[in-house]
Amino acid sequence: MPDELWDKIKPLMPSFKKSPKGGRPRKDMRSIMEGIFYVLRTGCQWKMMPKEYPSGSTCHRYFQYFEKRGVFDKLWKKSLIEYNEKKGIHWKWQSGDSHTIQSPVKGGR
């Protein structure tokens, strides 16, 4: 992850207090976020992540934690604002589409 991107993400990250009971130190948040982005970019399974990242279970646990606390929503909004300032977003041309299909009824109907 480029330093420029990490500098934008770092202020959005939740802060963690040290446990008074001690315990294992936390993994580096930058490497965890790099692991999360690797999975999101490649579609790789969490447990199949390359060894250069923290474990897949660690990254997945933090992914869920960050999602619940709105880290990705904040990053998305911050990115949209920055893009709009640099290039401009023509909101009147935006659209969304979805397709929903009914799941099969039990019994193969």
| DSSP code string of 30-62 | HHHHHHHHHHHHH---GGG--TTSS-HHHHHHH
Residues 89 and 79 sit within 8 Å (Cβ to Cβ): no
Kindly report the number of other CB atoms within 10 A of residue 75's CB atom: 17
* Residues 58-103 pLDDT 10s: 999 999 999 999 999 999 899 888 888 888 877 776 667 777 777 6
Would you list the domain boundaries of the chain?
A: 3-8+28-87
* Angle, helix 29-42 to helix 56-68, in steps of 10 degrees: 90
Confirm if 48 and 57 have CB atoms less than 8 A apart: no
The two three-digit tokens of residue 100, written as one number: 């929903």
Backbone angles phi and psi of 101, in degrees to 5? -120, 150
Task: Give the per-residue pLDDT at 108.
Answer: 55
pLDDT per residue over 22-47, tens digit each? 777 778 899 999 999 999 999 999 99
